[in-house]
Amino acid sequence: MKKVKVKHAKPAPKLKGLSFQDLLLTLEQYWTERDCILQQPYDIEVGAGTMHPETFLRVLGPQPYRVVYAQPSRRPADGRYGENPNRLYKHTQLQVIMKPAPADVQDLYLRSLEAVGINLKEHDIRFEEDNWESPTLGAWGIGWQVLLDGQEITQFTYFQQSGGQDLDPISVEITYGLDRIASYLQGVDNVFDVRWSDKVTYREVRLAEEQQFSAYSFDFADAGSIRKQFDLAEAEAARLLQLFAGLKSPAAKKGFPILQAYDFTLKCSNFFNLLDARGAISVTERAAMIGRVRKLATRVASAWLEQRADAGAKVAGPTSAAQVEGQVRA
C-alpha cells in the first residue's frame, strides 16, 4: 500500500475554549459548589483516579461523601514518546465521587459541561453503554462513556463493588478526560497544541515527561529490578495486613496503618503496569500478578471496613449472600 500522507488541515477553531488550567479550575469550582470537598491528586503513581483512596476506600461503608480531585494517571503501555497526537503515558483525569448517588446526577454532570462552555443544544451528547471493571482492584460498576460529538470525554459509573465488597449505598463516579475535553474545547487535533494557560502550551509543560517516561517504560526499564520491587512492595503490604489480622483489640486496630498497606498495593499495580509495557510478563505470570494485586486490594478493603466498624462507624446491614459471593469471587 502507498504511504499515507495526510495534510493535517487545521480548521480555524470556532471555539476558542478554556485553557487546560481554566477547565480544571472551572470543574473543580463547579463540583465544590455542589458539596464536594476539593482533594489533591494522590502522591503515588496510579493508573486511574479510581485508585486514589478517596475513591477506592471512600466508596466502602455507609458514610456519605462527596469529593472532587484531579488525578494524573500513568498508563505506561499507552506511552508514545510524545509523538502521537492522542495517546499519552500520563493523562489527567478529573474525578468526582458522590455517595450516595443523587437522583439528578446526570443533570448535574451535564450542567458541568455547560459550565465549561458546551452548549448542550448544539452538540451531540450521548451516554453509551460502557461498564467499567478493574480486575486488579476487584471493582466494577455499571454505566456509560459519555460522547461529545463522537468523542469520549467522560466515564460515568455507578459503582457496584470495590475491593470485592458489595457497596451500600451506591456511589457514582464521574471521570472526565481533561486532555481530551481541552483539545475539544480549543479545537485542536494534537493534545500537545492545547493551551495550558494563555501563555504556555501543553507541549511546553508535558512533552519531556512523555518522552522520558515512554523511553523508560519501553526501552530502559530493568525488568529484574522492577520485579524485585514488586515483590518487596507486595511483601510489605502483606506483612501489614497479616499483623492487622492478628490484632484483637479495637483500640489497636484503630490506628493501624492500613492506608500504608494500600500504598504498597498501589506500588505493586504500577510495577505490574511497567512490566506489562516492557513486555516482560509471561503467560501464566500475567494473570497471576493481577491476582496478587487484587488479593492485596480486597484484603485492604475488608481491613479498612473492619477498622472503621470498630472505630464506631455503622457498617451497612448484615452480610448478604451476595456479599459473601462477591468476596469469594474477588
Partner 1 sequence: MTSDVKKSLKGRGDFLFEIGCEEIPAGMIVKACRELKALLEKYFVANALLDEGSAASSIETFGAPRRLTAIVKNVRLKQEDVVREITGPPKAVAYDAVGEPTRAAMSFAEKQGMAVSKLSIIMTPKGEYLAAKQEVSGKPAAQILAGVLPQVIQEISWPRSMYWTGLGKQRFIRPIRWIVALLDGKVVPFAFADVVSGAHTEGHRFLGSSKIALSGPQDYEPKLKKNFVLCRPAARSKKIETEIAAITKKHAVKVHHDEHLLEMVTYLNEYPSVIIGDFDPAYLALPDEILLTVMRDHQKYFGLESKGGELAPHFLAVINLPSDPKGLVREGHERVLRARFADAQFFWETDQRTRLGDQLPKLKAVTYESRLGSYGDKVERIRALARWLAEQWFSAGVSQADVAGSDRAAELAKCDLVTEMVREFTELQGVVGGLYARAQGEPDEIAWAVYDHYKPVGLDDPLPRNLTGCAVALADKLDSLVAFFAVGAVPTGSSDPFALRRAAQGIVKIILERKLPMSLSAAISAAAKALKEHAPKIEATEAVQKQVLNFLLERAKFLLREKGGFAYDEINAAFAAGADDLVDAADRVAAVKAIRNMKNFVPLAASFKRIRNILEKSAGGSERDHATVSAELLWEPAEKELHAAAQRIGEVARAKKKNRKYREALEAVSELRPAIDAFFDKVLVMVEDKNVRANRIALLGNLLKEFSTVADFSELGGEESRPA
What the block records as the C-alpha cell of 67 is: 469529593
Stretch binding partner 1 (CB under 8 A), from 40-48, 246-254, 276-284, 300-308:
276-284
CA-to-CA distance for 68 and 281, rounded, in angstroms?
35
120 makes contact with partner 1 (CB under 8 A): yes
- Confirm if 54 and 37 have CB atoms less than 8 A apart: no
DSSP 57: T
CA-to-CA distance for 106 and 127, rounded, in angstroms?
10
What the block records as the C-alpha cell of 293 is: 494485586
**Site mask for partner 1 (CB under 8 A), range 75-94, x = bound:** -----x---xxxx-------
328 makes contact with partner 1 (CB under 8 A): no
Looking at the Cβ atoms of 63 and 86, the one nearer to partner 1 is: 86
199 makes contact with partner 1 (CB under 8 A): no
Using CB under 8 A, pick the residue from 287, 311, 313, 324 that binds partner 1: 287
DSSP 241: H
**What residues have CB less than 8 Å from 160, skipping those under 6 apart?**
140, 141, 142, 166, 167, 170
The nearest distance, CB 58 to partner 1, in angstroms, is 17
The nearest distance, CB 78 to partner 1, in angstroms, is 11
- Confirm if 222 and 52 have CB atoms less than 8 A apart: no
The nearest distance, CB 91 to partner 1, in angstroms, is 14
Q: Measured at the alpha carbon of residue 212, what is the angle toward residues 208 and 213, in degrees to the nearest 5?
A: 115
CA-to-CA distance for 176 and 288, rounded, in angstroms?
31
149 makes contact with partner 1 (CB under 8 A): yes
251 makes contact with partner 1 (CB under 8 A): no
9 makes contact with partner 1 (CB under 8 A): yes
What the block records as the C-alpha cell of 49 is: 483516579
Using CB under 8 A, pick the residue from 27, 148, 258, 268 that binds partner 1: 148
Question: Which parts of this chain interact with partner 1 (CB under 8 A)?
Answer: 1-9, 11, 14, 80, 84-87, 100-101, 103, 106, 110, 120-129, 131, 141-142, 144, 148-151, 158, 160, 166-170, 184, 187, 189, 279, 281-284, 286-287, 316-317, 320, 322-323
